[in-house]
A and B are shown apart, each in its own frame.
Chain A
Amino acid sequence: MVVIAVALTLSFITFFLLNVAIDPAQAVAGEEAEALEIEQVRQQYGFDRPILIRYFEWFKAVLTGDLGISYYWNKPVGSLLLERAPETITLALMSVMVTIFIAIPLGICAAINPNSVIDRMCLGVAVSFQAIPNFWLGLVMIIIFSVTFPIFPVSGDKTYFHFILPSIVLGASSVPPVMRLMRTGLLDVMEADYIRTARSNGFFGWKLILNHAMRNALLPVVSVLAVQLGHKFGGSVITESVFSINGLGRLALESILGADIPTVQILVFVFAFTFLILNLLADILNAYLDPRLR
């Protein structure tokens, strides 16, 4: 229920802001259009009517599956989305996998030896990942792994192989928060009374961590991973451009530059909605992991 309410509010705000910020008639007619032409377009497309009425019409159309027609691409927005979405979904999922495979082991290593050299090194690796800007890391990776040692393709999105470098670049940026959360979570849990109970029962080492501590420590990590995945869906604009992957991020960039209101409108809505759904999924997963939340 809350999710739907938030989504509705959001769709209205984006619609309103977009239509106020840009003159839609001007956008359709083009930059060099005469005042008369713009006026014609305004009447033809119905931009002269009150914004509320246009919002409701747009909303009705969206509900019936008609997402509108892109001014810039001259195509239905729906088919544009379908074309571009798979690339972004693959990239997002793969980069979150990268995050999980790097951040969680690092976090565990750091937590097992708190304040030791290993802990500091893990933290160092994580922080440097975060400090490096995406586009720079992307370019360096291309130079090293595609140009000097041609292991991976430079750019494109034809096979899964093409996605490996971009997902490392994209995944690296969310390693630090996840890793730190894993570390502090595990450290907290190791202090808990039930860990003492498990120790007194004879659990130690890896068994203690895997059988008794992990599940408790993962709870906060799950929520953060959901947020990170949300960012990946919407925020891969730069990485997609660097590796010239034709995903939603690039579509967003191009339609903003082209003042393509219907496309931007739907994209903002889709990004936001994915965020909400992911958070919902994280809550459900947490409830599965922790019976007290049920």
Chain B
Amino acid sequence: MSYSLIINNLEISVKSLIGYKKIVSDFNLTLHPGRKLGIVGESGSGKTLSMLALNRLLPSQIEVTGGSIFFNNKNLNNMEKKEFYREFSGKKISMIFQEPMTALNPVYTIGKQLRQAFLIHNKGISKKLSEERARSMLDAVKLNRIEERMRQYPHQLSGGQRQRVLIALALINEPEILIADEPTTALDVTVQKEILELINELCLNFKMSLIFISHDLGVISKVSDEIIVMKDGKIIEEGLTKKILKSPKKDYTLGLLKCLWKLEKGNPSLYTDKEVPFIEVKNINKEYQLPNRFFSKRKKLSAVEDVSFSVFKGESVAIVGESGSGKTTIAKIINGLEYPDSGEILINNCPINKIDLFERARLIQPIFQDPYSTLNPNHTIGYVISRPLIIQKRFSSKEIYHNAIKMLKLVELPATFFYRFPNQLSGGQRQRVSIARALILEPQLLICDEPTSALDVTIQDQILDLLENLKKKLSITIIIISHDISVVKYLSKRILVIKDGKIVESGFTKEVLENPQSSYTKELLSSVFRIFPPKRNFIN
């Protein structure tokens, strides 16, 4: 069973009214049996598009305009559409995708979807045999309670379980090449680790070769023998994984690595002396009522249980935990967007519910996760930033304008952005706008809820730098919420690890990370992929 995949000078273009615009060019790739190849690059670098082109899944306005794809000396580009779908899709080449939450059909059971995928390439197989096959695949991806899973619908499974089902779906016809497009980006770190181990193991068992796409060099380094680095639709570097991690030739690759190293090292300037508690959280509890089903008792979900902590002036504290651990609920409660069922929050020794809204807005400001949806697309950046001042009603329009321009400068954006609209900005720029909007009232406390998790690593790095500078300049207190320990390490002095609504560990970041006490923290730490900087220091 010898085969190989060779892609020569692949060129992909977007079709528009004025003609074609190249977005990927000179893409070359050779994949031999059993090899594992990683493609790394920022979003928009063309890594996903080239793989979609290989699989004939390109969106309708995007076309392959040049080059060739050979699989065992057969040119796939010239092949009839029907023949390709019949012979290759899912049979020789399979793909798994980034969004396990939406990549399964919501209206069919897991069992049915698996059976259908098997039947499409194996016509006339009995129901019993195909069911048998589906079961054995679920077993291969290490799902438990297989009988139950077969009858379940996608919405009844967790993200990790769904990704396992998708892998089972991709492998059910024993393809020779598996393409994994950021398969773990949407998952928690602990789950991510399990899935990567699973993919590695299955590649061995099924004797497949793997193409793994990710923006995260840390993840890529765990699953690949070779790496291709892409930027702006071109391959800028390729080689063995070990070699590239040790001595990258291009500045861009080095830049990617540096971001990871910097996160690794932590930031020494954070350690200052304690002062008076600025904010005190005392025994807060919050329960949510789950939507009731017919004839059964309403269930309650306890999101936050008896959480207490305090934050000192000018300090930065991180709250770390997986999704669903209650960290965002805590942020909402401090922000006044939710009310706790019991317990209280004191700011400067004054209960938060006694502070009036205008006053509170000048004390606390939030920064949210998703810079794409938190800015109103119908308003200019200038309006978005100055709105907090407008609401406060104490400022003249001249003052507001000057303040907004000042804020734009503070977050290192040009003043011309004042008249732009959010859709004209990149993700990083939008997050800068949200920071400017939060800072215009000169709050004393910033609550950042996963401020960088929607951004590329290089942008992530810039935003973290910005937050760090602002903290020094404005001596502002920051509560940062994240699932990513490396982000937290860089920015915070103290850390609270939270699980199922309870604090399981707290202490100085350095101590917690070097000597974690609870098993959960250890688990969180061990599932972050690290790349250590080499001893020889060639960064500067």
A residues apposed to B, CB below 8 Å: 192-194, 196-205, 207, 211-212, 215-216, 289-292
Contacts and interface: CB of A to CB of B under 8 A. Distances in A.
Contacts of A204: 81-82, 85, 89
**8 tightest A-B contacts by CB?**
A202-B90, A202-B89, A201-B90, A193-B102, A291-B153, A194-B105, A204-B85, A200-B95
Interface string B89-117: 11100110101001111111000000011
Interface of B: 55-57, 81-82, 85-86, 88-91, 94-95, 97, 99, 102-108, 116-117, 120-121, 153, 155, 166, 169-170, 173
A119 B81 CA distance: 23
B248 to A, nearest CB: 32
A216 B85 CA distance: 23
Nearest to A216: B107
Given A291-B155, A292-B153, A200 B170 contact: yes
A19 B265 CA distance: 84
Nearest to A194: B105
Nearest to A195: B105
Contacts of B99: 193
Nearest to A192: B102
Given A192-B102, A193-B99, A193-B102, A200 B89 contact: yes
Contact of A215 (B56, B107, B153): B107
A289 B57 contact: no
A72 B23 CA distance: 78
A211 B112 CA distance: 10
Q: Could you say which of B90, B97, B105, B173 has the most chain A C-beta atoms within 10 Å of its C-beta?
A: B105
A284 to B, nearest CB: 12
Contact of A197 (B56, B103, B107, B155): B103
B84 to A, nearest CB: 9
Q: Could you say which of A194, A207, A289 has the most chain B C-beta atoms within 10 Å of its C-beta?
A: A194
A193 B86 CA distance: 20
A216 B91 CA distance: 26
A204 B89 CA distance: 10
B155 A292 contact: yes
20 contacts: A192-B102, A193-B97, A194-B102, A194-B103, A197-B105, A198-B105, A199-B85, A200-B55, A201-B90, A202-B90, A202-B173, A204-B81, A204-B82, A215-B108, A216-B106, A216-B107, A289-B107, A290-B107, A291-B153, A291-B155
Contacts of B82: 204-205
A61 B530 CA distance: 80
A39 to B, nearest CB: 55
Contacts of A291: 106-107, 153, 155
A207 B120 CA distance: 9
Contacts of A292: 106, 153, 155
B351 to A, nearest CB: 41
B57 A200 contact: yes
Given A216-B105, A216-B107, A290-B107, A197 B166 contact: yes
A201 B171 CA distance: 9
Contacts of B88: 202
Given A196-B57, A200-B57, A204-B85, A212 B153 contact: no
A202 B122 CA distance: 11
A289 B108 CA distance: 9
A94 B515 CA distance: 75
B307 to A, nearest CB: 32
Contacts of A194: 102-106
Nearest to A196: B57
A203 B102 CA distance: 18
Contacts of B81: 204
B106 A290 contact: yes
Given A205-B82, A292-B153, 18 more contacts: A193-B102, A194-B102, A196-B97, A197-B104, A197-B169, A200-B55, A200-B57, A201-B89, A202-B88, A202-B90, A202-B121, A203-B116, A211-B116, A215-B107, A216-B106, A291-B106, A291-B153, A292-B155
B339 to A, nearest CB: 30
Q: Could you say which of B91, B117, B121 has the most chain A C-beta atoms within 10 Å of its C-beta?
A: B117
B120 A200 contact: no
A193 B85 CA distance: 18
A2 to B, nearest CB: 14
Contacts of B170: 200-201
B107 A202 contact: no
B117 A196 contact: no
Nearest to A114: B60
Given A193-B99, A291-B153, A201 B104 contact: no
A202 B103 contact: no
A202 B88 CA distance: 7
Nearest to A197: B103
A203 B89 CA distance: 8
A207 to B, nearest CB: 7
Contacts of B173: 201-202
Contact of A202 (B108, B120, B153, B155): B120
Nearest to A191: B59
A204 to B, nearest CB: 4
A288 to B, nearest CB: 10
B85 A202 contact: yes
Nearest to A288: B107
A222 B327 CA distance: 40
A199 B89 contact: yes
B189 to A, nearest CB: 23
Nearest to B106: A292
B106 A202 contact: no
